[in-house]
Amino acid sequence: MPLSVSLSVDGDISVIELIGELDAHTAPEFHESIEKAAAHGTAIVEIRMHEVAYMASAGLRSLVFAQQKVVDGVTIRVVGASEPVSRTIRTAGLDRSIVLADE
């Protein structure tokens, strides 16, 4: 399944919405949105994953990429990730530096 990525800015929040599967083939499109979101200089980069059915290790690398692209003090928040995706993020230890939120 392909990945649909959209980026919007709402006040001081850059919102990236993902729909589909996040893997090695689809991660480059996500990276482009991360770079654009980082360029906006907002205080929060919110990654909405309500409709991400699957995330491979490339998705984890994408979240690390996001951490590297934003300036210090910017919060990266992953919202609405399914339990398998959240578990993958927690198992990798990324929940120590990325906020996981239900909504």
Task: List the domains of the chain with CATH numbers.
Answer: 3-101 (3.30.750.24)
How far the first Cα of the chain sits from its last, in Å, is: 24
| pLDDT tens string 16-36 | 999 999 999 999 999 999 999
- pLDDT reported for residue 81: 96
Res. 1: pLDDT tops 90: no
- Please give the Cα distance from 20 to 52 (Å, whole number): 5
Of 51, 61, 48, the C-alpha closest to 89 is: 61
Structure tokens at 53: 């059915």
Buried b (16+ CB within 10 A) or exposed e, 63-94: bebbeebbeeebebebbbbeeebbebbeebeb
| pLDDT tens string 46-103 | 999 999 989 999 999 999 999 999 988 899 999 999 999 999 999 999 999 999 998 7
- pLDDT reported for residue 103: 78
